[in-house]
Structure 1
Amino acid sequence: MTIQLGKMNSLVVNEIAYEGAYLTDDSGNGEVFLKKEDMPNDLAVKQVIEVFVFEEQGNLTATTKTPIAQLGDFALLQVTSINAIGAFVDMGIGKELLVPYNEQRPKFELSRSYLVHLYLDKASQRLCGSSNLNKFVKQEATGFKKSQEVSIIVAGRTDLGFKVIVNNEYWGMVFTDQVFKPLFIGQKLKAYVAKLREDGKLDIRLSKPGVAGSNELSDVIYDKLTQENGVIHLGDKSDPIAIKKAFGCSKANFKRAIGHLFKEGKIDLAATKITLVK
């Protein structure tokens, strides 16, 4: 097992000293220093421990804290300081991540948060960050099928909708007419492929397509009815904005979902009200 910089590693305690512990891989190779303040009280030699490995002053160092993001990840990170070489962002482990000036898109400002990709600088072998996302996200996708479930990270807003990173690798777009709940930069969601275009661009939708999505929404509406003493003052004639605010969905999807509940005999329908059948 090779020790991976910028990742969580399962390492073996080789030696415990006054200043901390020295860790190796399971073959006894490498040396990673775990500071005394990060050591569990019951740590013992030959014990396997899960740690995050980073570089500090030219040495491999470990912490038992779990970082907000690891090598290869995209994450929304806050700027804690700025100096002559770049900005430093909080990783949640007490060790900041450098984002060099030439990797900032736009130029970072103190205390603001930015979507950052964690990469290994080839020259220094140091874990760094970049908000120049086009260097790491591919424009043209292949191998996706319509309705395929994917993971997305919200990367930015445009006139058309929201740019998203699909499966940590490709650009995609959630168009405005598919957005029925608040989205924010850095948000991670489950989503579905609406279309893979001929030019390789991915159209993404947030709701599950077809009957499956309708059934899922039906369950949400039914649960809401039970919480509201069996009555919700929304129906198939209600204002679309009110429906979107209540359930984060389009009026068309809402009508399909309550129609499903009505066919199952679970609710009674009125123009602007649905009632739970008891």
Structure 2
Amino acid sequence: MMQLGEIHTFRIERFTPHGAYVRGTAENILDAEELLLPSKYLPKNSQIADELTGFLMKDSSNRRVVIRDFPKLTLNTCAFLTLTELNLHGAFADWGLDKDLFIPFSEQREGIEIGETYPILLCYDPKTDRLFGSMKINRKLTAASRDIEHKNVSFLVTEHHQLGWRGIIDHQFLGMLYKNECKIPVSLGQTLSVYVSSVRPDGKVDVKISSIQPQKYDDAVARIEAYLQQHKFVYLTDKSEASEIYDRFQMSKKTFKQAIGKLYKQRKIKLFSDKIARMDE
């Protein structure tokens, strides 16, 4: 049976007045369960045996259905969502679909308010065969192993801490980015590319913004080159504010200075007091 809350590939089996019945397909093996793809999600000129990508969820009648709208998060992943309703049954958050995501009382934090945004994890309850959201993310994440040490990972910033920022690494582990390891502006809900500096005995992870790998500036160089290829110049220099550099190129000031230094040595750019230009300009 296909898993709720995930994006799958489906094959059209037959048409009905309400849409089409599809079956999940993975590695050329068809799932036994037929699922309804409502008419509003059926592509024009669809034919039997056509394959399409869809999200598996429950409709208002508690039926498993396939839709072609895609939410802001999938099963066991986390995203910042805005609360839309609080009532006697629980809380609801906008996750990008017509039907808001339900958050039971047992999965809520204290003091939440409608209109505010919170980090929420998409979970599955096998007893009820339903999806739900959880704000109690820390207790649902696993302890990291040392296998991820010295690797580049994604870091979703979920909480400001007196020592820096707490976040979720690759939707699996808790991590900490310390202030003294971060020279760029950081905000809640932001996803950063970071480097795992160490895994603590409790399974929590310490990360840094910059990687110690020798190739760490290659991406920055390519990003600046691509921008100059299109725009010819950029009003930034090594004296620019770190926030201005990050807004334009999503990199730290240190990385930016290293990258433009490399481009200058390669005679690919010209440096001015107020801008950087492509060499042929």
Q: TM-score, length-normalised on structure 1?
A: 0.79
> What is the deviation of 1:9?
2.0
Letter in 2 for 1:15: R
> What is the deviation of 1:115?
1.0
Q: What is the RMSD of the two structures over their aligned residues, measured on CA atoms?
A: 3.3
Residue-by-residue CA offset, 1:77-116 (whole Å, 9 max, x unaligned):
2222222111111222212211111101244321222111
Equivalent position of 2:14 in the other structure: 15
One of 74, 98, 102 as aligned partner of 2:102: 98
Equivalent position of 1:177 in the other structure: 180
Letter in 2 for 1:100: P
Contact 2:236 2:245 (C-alpha < 8 Å) held by counterparts: no
> What is the deviation of 1:253?
5.5
Q: Paired residues, what number?
A: 269
Structure 1: segments with no counterpart, 5+ residues: none
Larger Rg: 1
Is the counterpart of residue 36 in structure 1 residue 34 in structure 2? no
Is the counterpart of residue 110 in structure 1 residue 109 in structure 2? no
One of 77, 80, 83 as aligned partner of 2:84: 80
Residue-by-residue CA offset, 1:157-199 (whole Å, 9 max, x unaligned):
1111111211221111111123333333332232111233455
Letter in 1 for 2:242: K
> In 2 relative to 1, CA 12–198 (structure 1 residues): closer, same or farther, beyond 3 Å?
closer
> What is the deviation of 1:21?
2.0
Equivalent position of 1:65 in the other structure: 69
Equivalent position of 1:129 in the other structure: 133
> What is the deviation of 1:142?
2.6
> In 2 relative to 1, CA 216–91 (structure 1 residues): closer, same or farther, beyond 3 Å?
closer
Contact 1:163 1:173 (C-alpha < 8 Å) held by counterparts: yes
SS at match of 1:52: strand
> What is the deviation of 1:41?
2.2
Q: Percent identity?
A: 26
**In 1: Cα distance, 2:3 partner to 2:253 partner:** 49
**In 2: Cα distance, 1:77 partner to 1:169 partner:** 18
> In 2 relative to 1, CA 266–91 (structure 1 residues): closer, same or farther, beyond 3 Å?
closer
Q: How does 1:1-278 map to 2 (within 5 A)?
A: 2-26=1-25, 27=30, 29-56=32-59, 57-146=61-150, 148-209=151-212, 211-214=214-217, 216-217=219-220, 234=238, 242-248=240-246, 256=258, 260=262, 264=266
SS at match of 1:152: strand
Structure 2: segments with no counterpart, 5+ residues: none
Contact 1:215 1:260 (C-alpha < 8 Å) held by counterparts: no
Contact 2:143 2:202 (C-alpha < 8 Å) held by counterparts: no
Contact 1:115 1:185 (C-alpha < 8 Å) held by counterparts: no
> What is the deviation of 1:118?
0.6
Contact 1:31 1:60 (C-alpha < 8 Å) held by counterparts: no
**In 1: Cα distance, 2:162 partner to 2:206 partner:** 15
